[in-house]
Structure 1
Amino acid sequence: MRTAVVRFADYRLYEQKRVEASNAMMGLLAGAQLASHLLQLTEGSERLLPEVFPRVAHIGRFNLTTEEARSILNAADTHLGAMSVPYSLALHEDYLKTCLDLLARGGCCTTAQAERAKARLALQHRGIEAATGGAFQLDGLAQIDTLRLMRNCMIHDGGRASAALVSTVQSWTTTTESAWRKLAHSTLRHLQVGDPVRFGHAELILSLAVTKSLARQANVLLQSALPRSLWADLVLADLRETDPGFAGDGRQLLRKLRGMARFNYGPIKLEEADLSAAITRE
């Protein structure tokens, strides 16, 4: 089974966004702790932060004493997790929509089937499996379903556990629970309907890890399912996008295509005939 990814244009864009989001989230978490540490220097002061740090932008909106501010900053991971996990899932959902569009374009499913699967994250992985004949790892699917339902509880149920979330957690296998514990350092087995659903640093790390893994798995499933002609067309479109000023002749174009196909699309093993046919179709 193939394991290397094809770095097609939309996958590279997803990876870029995922890394940027991860860095920003970790930066905010670290920043909150750094700020809390810095405020130790003013411990005991009754002056408000805008008086102590008048040049800090927007400090007026944080019009608190040192003690009050540090209490909030020390608990920031809960609030940042509640904001960051949905963001991580949204990036993944957008990438899966791209995968489904490619599968429809490659004739692996109908446009209507792709559109139905694109409607909700809950349907997207199953839609890709149906179109490719492949399968995602079950533990990863269980983890992302759990995170999705946790997100839904936060948005639709006032942050309280729904029956759907509790049922999903109770259906975990031992390997799913072990995988969750490995990253989150806790379990959700104790959840009852109506219990508070909490996010934090651990859930953020877990969401980044599981979406990265499932995105790579989707990439591998596409490799065997999409026709070589479509992969060749994607290489050509990629080149046109990344080097819009290229004005070489057909032989130079083919040479550049061979280089791009080898560097970013290596697992497909496109041949010169595939790339020449793409030029002809353009």
Structure 2
Amino acid sequence: MIPPPSDQEELPAGAPPTAGARPCIALVDDDRNILTTLSIALQAEGFATRVYADGEAALKALRHNPPDLAIFDIKMPRMDGLELLQKLREKSALPVIFLTSKDEEPDEALGLALGADDYIAKPFSQRLLVARIRAILRRSEFTRSDAAEPEEGDTPETITRGRLEMDPARHRVTWGGRTVSLTVSEFLILEALATRPGVVKSRNQLMDAAYSEDVFVDDRTIDSHIKRLRRKFRAIDSDFDAIETLYGAGYSFADG
């Protein structure tokens, strides 16, 4: 019989992970059975895990010692998953997956608009969750399973557009030499725009760039991401106007 986890405790499952050897997943849920089950399942798949039974405890830990990815339940006491994400996004671009119930579609849309990278509706298969985790880790360049240096020519080229520099291999963005912290979805949307400056990308095209095929978002979500992108760049440069809106058509990146 495996005892329920306590806050900020890594569940024992075999030998303890070597520091830095495995991607670390933080689980935040007030249901101890879910924490125990998911933690054991993820450790069996090669991940290290940390678990938190409420949002307030998780927020402090995620800011102080961020994992590679976090999974939040939406419905939690004290601080729910949406509030946790909103507060986390003030200072962190940590990849986040939401766990939702079938009747929580408005929460799913709001979570994506706030900067979540994906969501999975309960009940879900552990295989699906693991696949989503691996996909996001690959996209965010946090995967540690491939430690070898890439062959010459395989590394994605740095994108330079005026004062913007994007390094897809390191998930790094700078504007005028100053770092801009972006979520995975924000990075992919900006990359889609900056790759072809001056070309208008529709909201549907940006959705395809930022989300997997089985994640459905609406126009408002893309608009929210664009607003967040502009806000982050304007925090560095108040004159930032490189992301242009063509009303009724979509968005483009002005190179110059």
Instruction: Looking at secondary structure, tell me which structure has more helix per residue.
Output: 1
Q: Decide which structure has greater strand share.
A: 2
Greater RCO (CA < 8 Å, at least 6 residues apart): 1
TM-score bracket for the superposition, by shorter chain length = under 0.3
State the TM-score, normalized to the length of structure 2. Answer: 0.25
TM norm structure 1: 0.23
